């Protein structure tokens, strides 16, 4: 299985969480790509079995 983790961040915390999640999935033997939605071209969706999306939350 291959997972794509897309994230958007203002202060870098969501990027850190995305990287942590990717490392945990790697330990389980799951191939993972991590990308900032503002810096990636159109993903090749057919290459992924699942997609995780993370975004920052400001002020609750």
Task: Select the more confidently predicted residue: 1 or 4.
Answer: 4
Q: What is the pLDDT of residue 39?
A: 94
Q: What is the pLDDT of residues 11-58, one digit of tens each?
A: 999 999 999 999 999 999 999 999 999 999 999 999 999 999 999 888
Which residue ranges make up each domain of the chain?
2-55
| Residue-level pLDDT at 58 | 81
Per DSSP bridges, beta strands 2-8 and 50-55 are: parallel
pLDDT attached to residue 59: 81
User: Which CATH code is given to the segment(s) 2-55?
Assistant: 3.40.50.360
Scan for tokens 């503002």, then name that residue: 38
pTM for the model stands at 0.89
CA 19 to each of CA 49, 51, 54, 56: distance values in angstroms, whole numbers, following the listed order: 18, 14, 11, 14
């Amino acid at each position: 299985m291959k997972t794509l983790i897309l994230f958007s961040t203002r202060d870098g915390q969501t990027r850190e969480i995305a990287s942590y999640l990717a490392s945990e999935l790697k330990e389980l033997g799951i191939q993972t790509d991590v990308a900032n939605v503002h810096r990636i071209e159109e993903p090749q969706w057919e290459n992924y079995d699942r997609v995780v999306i993370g975004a920052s939350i400001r002020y609750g």
